[in-house]
Amino acid sequence: MKSQFDPRHLKRIANIQALFAYGFGQTAPLTADLPKIIKKLPQIDILIAQNAPKWPLDKINKVDLAILRCALWELKFEKTNPPKVLIDEAIELGKQFGTESSPSFINGVLGSVLDHEPKPDHRPPKTD
């Protein structure tokens, strides 16, 4: 894990706190990313539901849900960091803020999302 003072780490924590508050109907604290994340929540929640089929969204620990939403937003829509980095960071945040089972649950859901992504075709294009 990066330093606890790394600006990206602190930004993720702020986004998770904002998503956690949003999950309870509260609008504060607001981050610059929160409106962008909220806009994508329907798509993000579908991904969570598909990759954690035994856990309806309303039964997932609210901290874990906020971490998953933040990580999936970065993974699927922001795409500024490698997937492995985002998953590692989400697991570390689960250890820091979640329950004992949070890291493995978060890892399982995010790993499943990655496993179901289409793999890029690295073959050279055909030339005639």
Burial 19-43 (b: 16+ CB within 10 A, else e): bbbbeeeeeeeebebbeebeebbee
User: Is-contact 116 75, C-beta < 8 A?
Assistant: no
DSSP 1: -
Residue 15 belongs to domain with CATH number: 1.10.940.10
Q: Are 9 and 89 in contact (CB under 8 A)?
A: yes
**Is residue 96, in this structure, part of any structural domain at all?**
yes
pLDDT, tens digit (0-9, with 9 covering 90-100), for 53-103: 999 999 999 999 999 999 999 999 999 999 999 999 999 999 999 999 999
Domain membership of residue 111 as a residue range: 7-115
Residue 128 is assigned to a structural domain of this protein? no
Asked whether residue 73 is domain-assigned, the answer is yes
CB 73 within 8 A of CB 40: yes
Using only C-alpha atoms, what is the Rg of the chain?
16
Q: Which two tokens stand for residue 67?
A: 């971490």
122 lies in some domain: no
Q: Residue 127 falls within a domain, yes or no?
A: no
Q: Give me the number of domains the chain comprises.
A: 1
Q: Tell me the pLDDT tens digit for each residue of 14-57.
A: 999 999 999 888 776 789 999 999 999 999 999 999 999 999 99
Q: Is residue 126 over pLDDT 80?
A: no
Q: Is residue 81 part of a domain?
A: yes
